[in-house]
Amino acid sequence: MDLGLFIAASGMVAEQARQDQLANDLANGSTPGYKADESSQHSFGQILLSNTASGAPVGAITIGVESGKSYTDLAAAPMHETGEPLDFAIEGEGFFAVKTTQGVRYTRDGQFAVSAGGLLTDSFGNDVLSPTGAPIKVNSDGTVDPTAIGVSKVGGAVKQGENLFTGTPEGQASATVRSGSLEESGVNLVETMVEMMASLRSFQSGQQAIQAINETLQAAATQVGSVTVS
């Protein structure tokens, strides 16, 4: 069959994946410490066309596009003041470490609380860890010294939901923790919206291409060899 059909369809599939990511980014426009996803699109390998009669090479053609590996944009987002004693933001690179039932996880969301036992926890009740990996006690006046909170360097951070990341710890990062502030979501809403529209139109172009090829094929199937008397 016509190769073009499949090239156009692969482009549509890639745009679909992109659109899903963009929708998720947009939904997390208010999530503190959220990091936006990016995905690359790249072409499948090329194939060489040759003249069927003479065997002479015609040139190369790429056979479509695919979504590549997605990566998370870990750049620090702006902070905003909340005035809450147990809101913390990391100035610079690194993650807060929290102890979950599945092991240590990392987060940039510093919206912390105090447990019944007087320990600093994240909003799901997981203990926040100090630089030495111990739980942190909240002072009787309801505050915590920001320097008591550990900031870990994490390699290969991957999102797992509930604002948590998994990854390999690589020691303490040299970042400053600020109390009374939260890191905003890393999503640029306007940019995301524009990308969604661009992606939509690319998707539509793919559909148009399929339509056009379909019409050519239809002509080939029904008109070639027909005799019309004019």
Partner 1 sequence: MLDGLYAAAAGMNAQQLQLDNVANNLANISTTGYHAQRTAFTDLLYNQINEAGTDTTDGAGAAARDIGDVEVEGSLQRTEAPLDLAIEGQGFFELQRANGSTVLTRDGSFQLDSKRQIVSADGSVLQPPITLPAGVSAEQVKIASNGAVTAEGRTLGTIAVVDVPAPNALLAAGNGQFTVTQASGAATPVAGASVIQGALEGSNVDMGSEMATMIDTQRSYQMGSSAVKIEGEMMSIANQLRA
Q: How far is the CB of 142 from partner 1 (least distance, A)?
A: 6
DSSP class of residue 177 equals E
What SS3 state is found at 98? strand
> Out of 6, 66, 135, 148, which residue is the one contacting partner 1 (CB under 8 A)?
66
Residues 3, 10: Cα–Cα separation, whole Å: 11
Give residues 72-91 in contact with partner 1 (rule: CB under 8 A).
Answer: 83-86
The amino acid at 116: A
The residues facing 113 across adjacent strands are: 121
Rank residues 72 and 130 by Cβ distance to partner 1 and give the closer one.
Answer: 72
Give residues 158-187 in contact with partner 1 (rule: CB under 8 A).
Answer: 158-163, 185
The answer to whether residues 133 and 74 touch, using CB atoms and an 8 Å cutoff, is: no
Which residue's entry shows tokens 């003041």? 81
Rank residues 67 and 172 by Cβ distance to partner 1 and give the closer one.
Answer: 67
Secondary structure percentages of the chain, helix, strand, coil, to 5: 25, 35, 35
Tokens of 75: 């750049």
Which of 63-71, 93-101, 128-136, 222-230 is the region at the interface with partner 1 (rule: CB under 8 A)? Answer: 63-71
Bridge-based pairing of strands 120-121 and 57-62 is unpaired
Which of 46-54, 94-102, 113-121, 168-176 is the region at the interface with partner 1 (rule: CB under 8 A)? Answer: 113-121
What SS3 state is found at 99? strand
Which residue's entry shows tokens 């111990």? 134
DSSP class of residue 135 equals B
> Out of 139, 142, 212, 220, which residue is the one contacting partner 1 (CB under 8 A)?
142
Rank residues 24 and 172 by Cβ distance to partner 1 and give the closer one.
Answer: 24
Contact call for residue 32 and partner 1 (CB under 8 A): yes
Q: How far is the CB of 186 from partner 1 (least distance, A)?
A: 11
> Out of 19, 130, 172, 188, which residue is the one contacting partner 1 (CB under 8 A)?
19
The count of other CB atoms within 10 Å of the CB of residue 19 is: 16
Binding site for partner 1 (CB under 8 A): 12-13, 15-17, 19-24, 26-32, 34, 37, 39, 66-70, 83-86, 109, 111, 113-118, 123, 125, 141-142, 158-163, 185, 189, 193, 196-197, 200, 203-204, 207, 210-211, 214, 218
